Amino acid sequence: MISAETDLVVIGGGASAYGFLKGLGGNNHFKNTKVILIYPSEYNARTELINIADISPKFLQKKNLLSLSYYLHSFGNYIEKGFTHIGVHGIGGMARIWGGSIGVFDKKSLIKNNFNPSEFQSIYDEIDSFLPSGCNSIKVSKKIKKLFGNYVNSRLKISFPKLLIKDNCNNCNQCLAGCDLNSIWYPTKDDFENIENLDINIMENCFVTNISDNKLTYKNKYNENKYLNSNTIVLAAGTMQNYKLMINLKECKSTKAKLYTTPALAFAFLNFTRNSEKKFFGMGNATFLIEKNKNIQFYGNLYDGYSLSISKGKVFSKYRVIDSIYKVLSRFMVVGAGFLSSDNADCNIEYINNTIVIDGKYTDEYYKNIAMILNILKKFLKEKKSIFVHIKKTNIGADLHYAGGVPNELYDINKIIDGQLKGIENVTVVGGSTFSYLPPESPTLSYIANSYRIGKNMTRSSNNE
């Protein structure tokens, strides 16, 4: 029995869902449309029973389990070949977990995704009007400025980080270990309810397990199967969960899809320039980039270890003694993590015998680029009389930046940028699913931008209404 009917259903509670609905709210074709938002606002209690310490120190903070919980709900069975999933893609969740970095794609990256750069730049400008991007009180750590000073305007360049943050941010720089003030911005229930020109009904603590034609199957908080009919279904649940739902469509005969990620390199080094700063902003004290022929090859964040040492939360290990020792050493450390473009990895995803199979490998370009980056970092450390204590080429998938995942027979680059699937009129996808290339920068703002663009430009005729 179908329990309800509606004009439009949006699946997901992250920044892409919010961007889409903000765009739809300004679309006269959908003025006062009844929208149901399936928004899983609490994590599944059974997640507490799972050993997640090795996934990410970020998840040592109980309040950040939501996205992981729904990922585990959907991806209980998987096989990984040269790939390591992190587990924050069940409903989206990049802004919720790490904070939304304020960074835009350059012209080259937009063209590689088949976007019109001029149009997309205007979309960046429009979303700036409703995102909390003006709250940043920024300064680069004096320690990192001193360490990297003579590399400014050279091969290794530093700048300052910007995140989407709330007005109550006190610039304590504890974003990495978990913000005690809950200052990291992500869309809340109130944000969705305050979107104008739409009649939004939020269904909390529900999780969609299947879509077929105009029908959704979802589980409520009592784990009961419920059903819903909708003229239009919008998938805004994160790249991985969107994939899981798309492969259930009857039009999808083959589940093979390309998955785009940005391979990461993590490093840490000792430098005994003592730093007593306590007030500096950001997920890290600085951003850095390495360019080649005016193209960004490597981009990431630098974390002054002092900010980790004064953190109230666990930042390295679930064991208190080990974590305490690390915090003492971290006062003299600079930690870095950076990304390469998705051209450096070749990843495929497929659903075989009720099991997700993800196969990832590095491209030839990766090995050339990583050798160049390591040489620059080593030269820098030698000049600064610093000591490497850790350097790791992380497994593909550990970068958290996922895109694509649209089954090959549903994929058309000319359609997917507008959220359309080949041969299907009543299902729209938004967020990372609509991208086919990722530069080294954080993609969060661009995912919001294209989701907004799709909502703004959607027409009822294009969605079979």
Q: Which tens digit of pLDDT belongs to each residue from 368-400?
A: 999 988 888 888 777 777 787 778 777 888 787
The predicted structure's pLDDT at residue 362: 95
**Residue 73 in tokens:** 């709900």
87: Cα separation from own chain's centroid: 11
pLDDT at 265 > cutoff 70: yes
**Residue 403 in tokens:** 């895109």
Helix, strand, or coil (residue 453):
helix
pLDDT at 270 > cutoff 50: yes
pLDDT at 1 > cutoff 50: no
Bridge partners of residue 428, in order along the sequence? 234, 420
The C-alpha atoms of residue 443 and residue 351 are separated, in whole angstroms, by 26
Written as one letter, the residue type at 202 is I
**Residue 287 in tokens:** 């951003």
The predicted structure's pLDDT at residue 439: 95
pLDDT band per the 50, 70, 90 thresholds, residue 238: confident
Domain ranges of the chain: 5-463
Of 208, 338, 191, the closest CA to residue 265 belongs to 338
pLDDT band per the 50, 70, 90 thresholds, residue 365: very high
pLDDT band per the 50, 70, 90 thresholds, residue 322: confident
The predicted structure's pLDDT at residue 66: 56
Q: In terms of CATH architecture, what is 5-463?
A: 3-Layer(bba) Sandwich (3.50)
pLDDT mean over 414-426:
95
The predicted structure's pLDDT at residue 360: 94
The predicted structure's pLDDT at residue 59: 46
In degrees, to the nearest 5, what angle opens at C-alpha 300 toward C-alphas 299 and 303? Answer: 150
The predicted structure's pLDDT at residue 412: 95
155 phi and psi angles, rounded to 5 deg: -60, -35
Residue 295: CB atoms within 10 Å: 12
The lowest-confidence range among 35-49, 95-109, 421-435 is: 35-49
Q: Which tens digit of pLDDT belongs to each residue from 148-191?
A: 665 544 567 777 777 788 888 776 666 655 666 777 788 888 99
Residue showing tokens 């270890």: 305
0.85 cut: is pTM over it?
yes
The predicted structure's pLDDT at residue 405: 95
Q: Which tens digit of pLDDT belongs to each residue from 57-72?
A: 444 445 555 556 555 6
- Over pLDDT 90: what percentage of the chain? 39
Residue showing tokens 């990297």: 148
pLDDT mean over 425-441:
95
H-run or E-run covering 441: none
The C-alpha atoms of residue 215 and residue 195 are separated, in whole angstroms, by 25
The predicted structure's pLDDT at residue 10: 96
